[in-house]
A = this chain, B = another copy of it.
Amino acid sequence: MDNFEFRNPTKIVFGRSTEHQVGAEVAPYSRKILLHFGGGSIKQSGLYDRVTASLRAAGVEWVELGGVKPNPRLSLVHEGVKLCKQHQLGLVLAVGGGSTIDSAKAIAMGAMIEGDVWDFYLGKGAPQAALPIGTVLTIPAAGSEASTGTVITKEEGWLKRAVNSDLLYPRFSILNPELTFTLPPFQVACGAVDIMAHLMERYFTNVRDVAFTDRLIEATLKTIIAQAPKVLANPQDYDARAEFMWAGTIAHNNLLNTGRVGDWASHDIEHEISGIYDVAHGAGLAVVFPAWMKHVLHHDLDRFVQWAVRVWNVELDVFNPEAVAREGIARMEAFFRSLGIGTTLASLGIHDDRIAEMADKCTDGNARTVGNFVKLDRDAVAAILRLAQ
């Protein structure tokens, strides 16, 4: 096990009707905030009215910025930064899913600097300050509600890049599973894949003697595998929604990578797919992950066997470990398909071949490798994308 530091300060307020507490959670930080959200769904559902009533009751004023899209855009971040500076706003409240929260985090950093926040996404320096961030989560998937990360897409060149900083842990996140009852099934399925991907990125590590976090990751994977079908079968199943939502947060709050180094190649590769084709992140991951596994299988067959046996209940056959591992991958693909998610590029409607371009962008023209479990160069990324066709 590696040395590590772990501190996750995000206050989780979880359960039925908890969105009514948002004003009380915001007020200690600021009385004048940016209210950030996506499309019209929070207005149709009544969530907008409940949130603003709670803010009003707590004496909190707000400036609004809606319009966040999946794969959130830098141009809207710039608008948010301008509003924060112009109105001297003291907190960014994201009401929505991971895209809205990631956009809010970008705004929170941008509001504290003179220059362009995109520089942080290019790795030019690290943020030294950020406005406080709060969230009311509506989509369990990205884990951004209790994470250090933000991923933003710059429209010019469709570059999708990430920043991680402890400054970006939200001060609070409100998680009411009832708010997820009306999610379209496809979004639930993409969320399930995204959560599982966060877990598997952490699981496949070269660090030895990480048995405890292995088991915690397996427990969380099994939870998503058990609950996602229940959620799809009965969208109003509060308890299945609750298990799913809480597991999604724990999957990405950095507890499960304590003492270990995750891989993250599949996320990097997927960012190139969704950067070009604007597919849902979870749908892209369902395509990349099986292909990545087939490519790296022999790097540590034992780890794949453990995963297949413990997570997918494949019967252990010590004489045929590769067959056990491959059966695990096959069960994962079948599970994704059972959720209504394809596992090939073709299933995403991607029939043209821009594999060379994506592999090139992903590795900055072969100037860097991606992934830690196995370091992948441009050719390896291209090979994985071909396996995914």
Contacts and interface: CB of A to CB of B under 8 A. Distances in A.
Given A1-B242, A212-B250, A215-B222, 11 more contacts: A1-B246, A6-B12, A7-B9, A7-B11, A211-B227, A212-B227, A216-B216, A216-B219, A246-B258, A246-B259, A250-B255
Contacts of A18: 3
A101 B248 CA distance: 33
A5 interface: yes
A350 interface: no
Interface in A1-49: 1-16, 18
A61 B6 CA distance: 27
A14 B223 contact: no
A209 interface: yes
A240 B7 CA distance: 23
A16 B259 CA distance: 11
B1 A5 contact: no
Q: Count the copies.
A: 2
A220 interface: yes
B16 A7 contact: no
B14 A246 contact: no
A170 to B, nearest CB: 11
Contact of A242 (B5, B15, B209, B222): B209
Interface string A326-353: 0000000000000000000000000000
A212 to B, nearest CB: 4
Given A209-B243, A223-B211, A11 B6 contact: yes
A212 B3 contact: no
A239 B9 CA distance: 27
A124 interface: no
Interface string A75-105: 0000000000000000000000000000000
Interface residues of A, number: 40
20 contacts: A1-B239, A1-B243, A1-B246, A3-B14, A5-B12, A7-B12, A8-B8, A12-B258, A209-B242, A211-B227, A212-B220, A212-B243, A212-B246, A212-B247, A215-B219, A216-B216, A216-B219, A218-B219, A246-B259, A250-B255
Nearest to A213: B246
A244 to B, nearest CB: 9
Interface of A: 1-16, 18, 208-209, 211-212, 215-216, 218-220, 222-223, 226-227, 239-240, 242-243, 246-247, 250, 255, 258-259
A215 B223 contact: yes
A140 to B, nearest CB: 12
Contact of A219 (B12, B15, B208, B219): B219
Contacts of A12: 4-7, 258
B258 A14 contact: yes
**A-B residue pairs, 9 tightest by C-beta:** A3-B15, A209-B239, A215-B219, A7-B11, A212-B223, A219-B219, A1-B242, A6-B12, A212-B243
A307 to B, nearest CB: 14
A311 to B, nearest CB: 11
A56 to B, nearest CB: 23
A227 to B, nearest CB: 7
Contacts of A222: 215
B1 A259 contact: no
A143 to B, nearest CB: 15
A14 B10 contact: no
Contacts of A15: 1-4, 259
Contacts of A243: 1, 209, 211-212
Contacts of A215: 219-220, 222-223
A227 B218 CA distance: 18
A216 B16 CA distance: 23
